[in-house]
Structure 1
Amino acid sequence: MTIIIGIILCLVVLGLILWFAVRRLRRNRALKILKAHSEKLTDQVVHESFPELVQQYPHWAQPQTLLSNPVEDIWGRGVMVFEYQAQVTSAKVSAVEIMHALEKLLNQNAQKAHIDSSNQKYKPFIVSDGWYLDDQFHFDVAFMTNQPTIDYVQDMRRLDLKDDILKPASNKS
């Protein structure tokens, strides 16, 4: 009788381990799909918006193709934030001014493409950080598609306390 109870307990434990492993694999797969889709949409909107930004600031940079790098490895799993680097000809325009202008363009183009945030309280895209390094302007674009991304942007807001980076959607321009 003791052997039967031991075997049943082992089977239950093995079943639980297998269940958690399968669940984790499915979650990771779903997260990869979400990340790939989010990166594709973000790239699309950045590629539409950046030339418009260059038109607004013609002495700042030239039109160019920007490649995204996910920052998930730094900030954690599930964060839909992508870093871009643009070659600039002049760093005389403040990073904050460029960030605000770019964010406005991103959200205008997102609206045209019917891209929304997962939480209607927020705009679909937020430029969460921007800085100059050498002859490049680096900027992070957050696609507000899930709670980890919203939490990340709120944390960045608390850290940086930048002007109006995280505005509720009701304050859209």
Structure 2
Amino acid sequence: MKTGIELVLGFLIALIIYNVLHHFLVTLPNKRHQRHVRGLVDQEVNKTLTTLQDPTGQLVVGELERAKVLDEVWGRGIMVFEYRCVLQQHPGELETTQLLADALKRQARADGYVTPSGRTRLLVTDCWINQDQLSFDVVDLANRATQEYVTDLHRLDK
């Protein structure tokens, strides 16, 4: 009986130690890195949206309303962020997606936000319009997990 209690207590102590170490050695550094990347991506998205606020263009967007990290949905290490803003004028969902993606690629290239091979690190992976609300997801291809996520998305689209 005493051995059983010692085993259970030992197991609980090991579980607590594991969770504390995991929190400080894995979770917190990942959150810190994600906040840093999100800040950089937010800057690029804000600059991109500023270029799309010209009232003479096909796509006219308002101020960025909300940005959200989607790591709870896709898992640790995936650098995907959801943005929302008001649409003032748009040519349609497909054209809006293309215009937004092209503008983000241009902005990322202009700011040197590219991979070592010269491809832009920022991609619009999803874009949808609900009434006058534009929602879109942007990924930063800086790590392998995010690259695999984008590859999986392309497989699903086929």
Higher share in strand: 2
Are 1:59 and 1:89, in contact at CA under 8 Å, matched by a contact in 2?
no
Match of 2:88 in 1: 89
Partner residue of 1:136 out of 126, 133, 138: 133
Following TM superposition, by how much is the alpha carbon of 1:109 offset from its aligned partner in structure 2, in angstroms?
2.0
Aligned equivalents of 1:122 and 1:73: distance in 2?
A: 27
The answer on whether the counterparts of 1:47 and 1:66 sit within 8 Å (CA) in structure 2 is no
SS at match of 1:97: helix
* 1:145 aligned counterpart, secondary structure: coil
Say which is worse superposed, 53-62 or 38-47, in terms of deviation: 53-62
In structure 2, the residue matched to 1:67 is 66
Taking a change above 3 Å as real, the CA distance of residues 56 and 146 of structure 1, as seen in their structure-2 partners, is farther
Residues in 2 aligned to 1:151 and 1:121: alpha-carbon distance in whole angstroms:
19
* Preserved contact between residue 131 and residue 137 of structure 1 (Cα < 8 Å): yes
**What's the CA shift for 1:156?**
1.5
Residue 8 of structure 1 is matched in structure 2 by none
TM-score (norm 1): 0.70
Q: Deviations over 1:119-154 (max 9, x none)?
A: 637521010000111221111011112122111111
- TM-score, normalised relative to structure 2: 0.76
1:22 corresponding residue in structure 2: 21
- Give the corresponding residue for 1:98: 96
1:69-113, CA deviations, whole angstroms, 9 ceiling, x for partnerless residues? 11112122221111111211345x232322222222222222332
Q: 1:5-27: CA deviations, max 9, x gaps?
A: xxxxxx9xx78984785255312
Q: What residue is the counterpart of 1:125 in the other structure? A: 122
Q: Which amino acid aligns with 1:147?
A: R
- Given that residues 67 and 83 in structure 2 are in contact (C-alpha distance below 8 angstroms), is that contact kept between their aligned partners in structure 1? yes
Paired residues in the alignment total: 151
Between the aligned partners of 2:157 and 2:101, the Cα distance in structure 1 is: 17
Alpha carbons of 1:113 and 1:90: their partners in 2 closer, same or farther (altered >3 Å)? closer
**Gapped regions of structure 2 (runs ≥ 5):** 1-9
